[in-house]
A = this chain, B = another copy of it.
Amino acid sequence: MNVLIVYAHPEPQSLNGSLKNLAVETLRSLGHEVKISDLYAMRWKAMADAGDFSDRAYPDRLRYAGESKHAYLGGSQSADVAAEQEKLLWADAVIFQFPLWWFSAPAILKGWVERVYAYGFAYGVGPHKGERWGDRYGEGNLLGRRAMLSITIGGREPHYSDRGVNGALDDVLWPIQHGTLFYPGMAVLPPFTVYQADRLTPEGWEKAADAFRERLSRLFIDEPIPFRRQNGGHYDGQQVLKDGLGAGASGSRIHLLQAGEPAERPVGEIATTERRAV
């Protein structure tokens, strides 16, 4: 299988760098093809601005989404953006390796999302009609791929437990896991995490490395987080979860499928984007 690693850390000798190297070595030894986007080494342009568009549809005023659509459809995207989209389409799985800074992805990685996730590529895909609001959240151009976050965290695990002061980890990661990975169609595996990352001992590294190898060996086996497909019949015409669903959960977890609920009833036309699931 093809695995893309999107890696964001400025220091090759960091824990993130070591995890990235371990992932490359492990995945290749398992027979996978691996590509890496080392954002800091690439000096990835994180700022989304007019410099992204050589052929403007609206010269007077920058409307980023409109220019993004024009460039994507017209083939005038900047080369670095198009190259990353090709890698995503090549990949069967995408691993994001980064430190959790201020409870979200590093700016350089956010900037990768903002420039690579073009209109027509990652959003603005598929018809909007009634209960079907585009091909997203379980549909989209990246359908059939799996994604996993591998994150290093300075804080302690209890601080991110269900009642921990930082907020439950899956709530902290919601904008990324649901809003950025599941949105264009990827199946999202539970995150791999290393807590107290700044204080890792040699023994701690060995444990983390073993655990990471185990997760990597199961990359195409483990069950993804059971997010509800937007167009699976769960949400109404206002994209609000229908009454009676999610009764056993609260907060963001209402958006996960639960035992005992009716089977999915896909709405609207068949998703325009199909690909065999891996």
Contacts and interface: CB of A to CB of B under 8 A. Distances in A.
Interface of A: 10-11, 13-14, 40, 46-50, 60-65, 101-108, 110-111, 113-114, 117, 133, 137, 154, 156, 158-159, 161, 163-168, 171-172, 174-176, 178-180, 183, 198, 230, 235, 238-241, 246, 250-255
Nearest to A183: B102
Contact of A49 (B40, B62, B103, B254): B40
B46 A108 contact: yes
Given A47-B107, A113-B102, A175-B104, A165 B61 contact: no
Nearest to A17: B61
Contacts of A137: 165
A164 B102 contact: no
Given A46-B108, A101-B114, A251-B251, A64 B10 contact: yes
Of listed A114, A161, A167, A246, residue having the most chain B CB within 10 A? A167
Number of copies: 2
B110 A114 contact: no
Given A158-B239, A171-B171, A47 B50 contact: no
B48 A47 contact: no
Contacts of A40: 47, 49
Contacts of A167: 174-175, 178-179, 252, 255
B179 A166 contact: yes
Contacts of A241: 163-165
5 contacts: A46-B107, A103-B174, A111-B111, A164-B238, A165-B241
A153 B225 CA distance: 26
